[in-house]
Structure 1
């Protein structure tokens, strides 16, 4: 399904839209090496960021939540990227999967771990804290709730703040996946299709 809204060139933006644009392209997402481009060659925003320009007040708030969960969280880089990929698999979001598999590889995720996450499964993780976080992320995407064991296990490893940040991350990337379906033309998952397990770069 093609995108429903056109990308906007920087010169076409009004001042409120330009403020959101600058926050996305000039904030922490733009610092350091880029695992995936934020814009195309003409400066138009990629993926879910383009839709944020439709409502600058809401778009600014959404992008600020995203920056916080990615760059101001207690979660480690590996846990953050694995949790994002859990959400990507649940929503069958190609953009999220390809973008964050690239980031995940730069954080040390292996092909075996990426394949398990792509299939919606818990990777073979030896680190107890990582396992608790990804079990919680899988439960949140599958059922929308944590049972007492999952809750207290996650809190024991990450504290209440860490678990709050994990639930915020899961909710934020579910929101982006929804926006990608509505505005960017990503198709919903085919329930009859087998999970993809190929390895390699995105």
Structure 2
């Protein structure tokens, strides 16, 4: 099966303008680059992988998005496993292969078993309990569009309003990334966008 073609350019660092380089450095040298690397931020040519390459299309918007993503990954009160469970729930619902593969790597490092990862892909939260179960169920409800009063009060009681706000925002952020990945045709097996690729796609 042929690789899907990106609809946008994948820029090398030497092709970037000043504002794009600033964003590139914020992504590759910021909080995402600290500590263990569970998935690569760049390819062997230095191009940003996943959604980050398309952040460069609008550096001002991309900078805001990368800052929000970094805050959601590293500066919330959500426990690490619960956070990854929520992200993987979004990936499952949105059928986002890049999100799933990237964050399954993080989840494995946090002790997720293969059975747990498989269950999340079915949106089955029965392997989880406590805060993790609540976060998974709440993320799924948010992907349906809302929390009813019962779900709201359960989540508010266990998480508190601050963490619940962070969870709602996280689900929205990763849903946005999933949409961008889908529209711009970006995935783990996506071929780089080049003029030759465009010509082949038209034949």
- Mark yes or no: TM-score above 0.5: yes
- Runs ≥4 in structure 1, deviation > 4 angstroms? none
By how many angstroms is 1:185 displaced? 4.1
Tell which has more relative contact order, 1 or 2 (C-alpha 8 A, sep 6+): 2
Query: What secondary structure is seen at the aligned counterpart in 2 of 1:124?
Result: coil
Give deviations 1:18-77, integer Å, cap 9, x for gaps.
Answer: 111011001111011111000001110001000000000100001110000000000011
Query: What is the TM-score when the length of structure 2 is the normalising length?
Result: 0.88
Change (3 A) 1:62 1:125: same
Query: What secondary structure is seen at the aligned counterpart in 2 of 1:145?
Result: coil
Return 5+ residue gaps in structure 2 as ranges.
188-203
Q: Are 1:15 and 2:18 counterparts?
A: yes
1:193 match: none
1:101 match: 104
Query: What is the TM-score when the length of structure 1 is the normalising length?
Result: 0.88
By how many angstroms is 1:173 displaced? 0.3
On the 8 A contact 2:50/2:98 being kept in 1, the answer is yes
1:136 match: 138
Change (3 A) 1:38 1:185: closer
* Aligned counterparts of 1:115 and 1:95: Cα–Cα separation in 2: 16
Q: Which of 81, 84, 96 is the matching residue for 2:84?
A: 81
Figure out how many residues of one structure are paired with residues of the other and give that number. Answer: 184
The 5 Å alignment of 1:8-87 reads 8-87=11-90
On the 8 A contact 1:112/1:123 being kept in 2, the answer is no
Q: Are 1:146 and 2:151 counterparts?
A: no
Higher Rg: 2
* Aligned counterparts of 1:15 and 1:3: Cα–Cα separation in 2: 24
By how many angstroms is 1:123 displaced? 3.7
Q: CA RMSD in A?
A: 1.0
By how many angstroms is 1:130 displaced? 1.5
